[in-house]
Amino acid sequence: MACETLLLFGATGDLARRMLLPSLYALHADGLIKDCLQIVGTARSELDDAGWQDFAKKALEEFLPADRKNGDLLATFLERLKYQPLDASKPDGFPALAEKIGDTSGGIAIFLSTAPSLFEPTIAGLQKAGLAGDNVRIGLEKPLGTDLDSSREINDAVAAAFPEERTFRIDHYLGKETVQNLLALRFANMMFEPLWNANGIDHVQITVSETVGLEGRVGFYDGAGALRDMVQNHMLQLLSLVAMEPPADLNATAVRDEKVKVLRSLRKIDSDSAATHTVIGQYGAGASKGEAVPGYVDELGKPSDTETFVAIKAHVDNWRWQGVPFYLRTGKRLPNRQSEIFIQFKKVPHSIFAKRGGRLTANKLVIRLQPEEYIRLLVMAKEPGLDREGITLREVPLDLSLTSAFAGTRRRIAYERLLLDLIEGDPTLFVRRDEVEAQWEWVDAIRAGWAANGMTPKQYGAGSWGPSAAIALTERDGVSWHD
């Protein structure tokens, strides 16, 4: 019986070097992919098999952890690799790619990491070369458009060859271990679900902050900005996992059905509310990690109104979350690199400790996704003592460090899980078309609201937490950002 092929477009790009090749090597080293699986790479670079194998070897030497390097395993992994140069914009090159792949009866899993402008000609080329049959799945790396219309155009082009059940839209945040643990935390523990609603939760904060600036992404980022680069995909996916109803089962249809209900329940932010519910900023010169860094326009080399920071006050209009604000914040050149979900519970309805001097603080739950991964519940406890001068209560953390709690278990990076799921055909952690379109509808309304109100980014110093208006966004509600 023929074995499957994994076909990587963009095989000489930065994503392949840093993430895809190390992930595939890890799956190979742990025996999680079949011995006969061949990995075919393609890109414009004029390489042969040996040239791409050398490229992969150098990438693995640079990006693999020291404890994962093994000369024998590396040699057998490199034997899997084949390469075919291809200009995806020219359909006449695809028959040679098909010839390189050879027997396709075992099926093909395609990972497409190219410019969105190449999606349509790539799909057409795959069809023409017989590489889009019923046994072929395609994984699409973002960006998938710049607004709802362009997203639909891309999805229509893909759907012409690949029906929804064979289309895997990638959001690498969904492959992170802590994101998976969010589902376990909510739906495997009785203590949280009765409080996971407007009766128990005061507000939710989701922060994805970066310390870097443009870092070589000039061409893409200046046409996208923080809202389209981070909020439209990663942050709305995190919000939907926090806010979703319990699915009937842990399968692709049930989980994604519940996520899309949340996305469709997001209250629209438009021309009437954009100025009061959103803040946009652009970093100026400042300091990052103790070093002076230039402002965005200096890095870019020209004037720009692209936002590098956005803060949003969002609402999910359904019974569970009525009246609970969701504060979203993301930006570049911020003080720390972190991704976290912060749940602020409500205060107890009556304090029995007040007359004895005990001051209560409402419970908090911190789910940190990166750089370290942990779940921390902050609870009230009494300080030891005889309490003759009053009771002293203090907030103490109950920590679940995933690194230490599962010290004997190998940690997986997101692309290991996603590539394996693509190869095996499990769509649970991939984004369905109706999710993408619901996300774009909400984001497009915000952008239209910015335009209607003539909003332009407020400058903030590199190394700060964004414009002062972002602080005011929460302080008006008596809330402070969790830094």
Q: How many CB atoms lie within 10 A of CB 376?
A: 16
Nearest-angstrom CA–CA distance, 362 and 385: 23
315 within 8 A of 234, measured Cβ to Cβ: no
108 within 8 A of 7, measured Cβ to Cβ: yes
Q: How many CB atoms lie within 10 A of CB 46?
A: 8
144 within 8 A of 171, measured Cβ to Cβ: no
Q: What's the order of all strands across the beta sheet hosting 167-170?
A: 81-85, 38-43, 5-9, 108-112, 136-141, 167-170
Q: Is 90 annotated as a binding residue?
A: no
Burial of 467 (0-12, 13-18, 19+ CB in 10 A): buried
Q: Is 146 annotated as a binding residue?
A: no
Q: Is 10 annotated as a binding residue?
A: yes
Q: Is 13 annotated as a binding residue?
A: yes
346 within 8 A of 202, measured Cβ to Cβ: yes
Tokens encoding 393: 């209560």
Q: Is 28 annotated as a binding residue?
A: no
Residue in the structure block whose two tokens are 């994604």: 256
Torsions phi, psi for 110 (to 5 deg) = -105, 130
Q: Is 300 annotated as a binding residue?
A: no
Q: Is 15 annotated as a binding residue?
A: yes
Nearest-angstrom CA–CA distance, 364 and 72: 48
Q: Is 14 annotated as a binding residue?
A: yes
Q: Is 80 annotated as a binding residue?
A: no
Q: Is 98 annotated as a binding residue?
A: no
Q: Which residue in the list 234, 315, 350, 482 is annotated as catalytic?
A: 234
Q: Is 59 annotated as a binding residue?
A: no
Q: Is 133 annotated as a binding residue?
A: no
Is 234 a catalytic site residue?
yes
The torsion angle over the Cα atoms of residues 60, 31, 425 and 45, rounded to 10 degrees, is: 30
Tally of CA atoms within 13 A in the half-sphere of 80 that contains its CB: 25
Helix (H) or strand (E) holding 377: strand 374-382
Tokens encoding 112: 């497409």
The torsion angle over the Cα atoms of residues 163, 164, 165 and 168, rounded to 10 degrees, is: 110
Tokens encoding 115: 């410019």
261 within 8 A of 244, measured Cβ to Cβ: yes
Q: Is 332 annotated as a binding residue?
A: yes
The residues annotated as belonging to the active site are 234
Query: Which residues does the annotation place in the binding site for NADP(+)?
Result: 10-17, 44, 142
| Residues annotated within a binding site | 10-17, 44, 142, 172, 176, 210, 229, 332
Q: Which residues are known binding-site members for substrate?
A: 172, 176, 210, 229, 332
